[in-house]
Structure 1
Amino acid sequence: MELACPANKLGQVTLYQSSRHGSLDGAGAPAFLGAIRPQVVVVNNGPRKGLGQVDNTVKSLTPSGKRTAPYEKNSYQRLAKLPGIEDIWQQHLSLLDPDPSHNTGENMIANLEDTAECTGHWIKASVQQSGKFSVTNSRNGFSKTYLAR
């Protein structure tokens, strides 16, 4: 938080790989995410780890006893509601919370199941000198190109 609040010392980011498997419990504070304003997010989650969990670690009261502004406790929804977010890519479909509104579109999810047959598909970002970058899902070959802000 010292890097983003009260002054943003990081600036905005174009491509953000989430930490803590995308669970954001203590690693995705609303003030931090709001400060860095990612354009595209890659969530390195597992099928039963991270994304989909509800964050109960951020307290709703400040040290002085005042209520803080409400924030989204579902990790995917918190990312999806960020101003300027264009897309979220996931390593795995969240089996903790398979609700379609708590996961990105299937074409941007590298692994859809948690079985012995899972081949471990990847997500790759490629950057061009022009300022464009592409993100590709190896499971289905889906790729999308973005212009960096």
Structure 2
Amino acid sequence: MVKSFQGVRMAEPKKAPIPQIVVSEHMSTNLVTFTPDDTIDKVLEVLTRRKISGAPVVDESGALIGVISEVDCLKEIIKGKYTNTPKFPGKVEEHMSTDLVTISPDLSLFDAASKFLKYKIRRFPVLKDGKLVGQLSLSDVIRAFPRLKDTTW
């Protein structure tokens, strides 16, 4: 009969739960927005000046009603080419996307990344209690991950 004595074992300290990396930590909150009555000329000028590819469209009360992007503006640009007009007077409401997919500020950044792959779009409006509180772009997600490489996923 062999007896073994291992001595007193120290209990391993419990690890604190890993804090979730959420959308609100990486979204843009100082947003460029447009109204449905803005012209495509104005949208093109603002998108070019601000070096962004799209922005939310809000009504008079500030409620989100759509998103306008460079791709949406192409419709008016092509129309201008065919009519030989150098201006693009079309309205945002004629070209904006209204079938929106939004996300919550409490959504995990990993879940948001999965949504970018699923929907193949470049930005998600972020809504909290039905109000526009920010926007998460694909670029925001890409910029976030190199900073997270030293954390436990």
TM-score (norm: length of structure 1): 0.28
- Structure with higher Rg: it is 2
| Higher relative strand content | 1
TM-score (norm: length of structure 2): 0.28
| Higher relative helix content | 2
More RCO (CA 8 Å, sep 6+)? 2
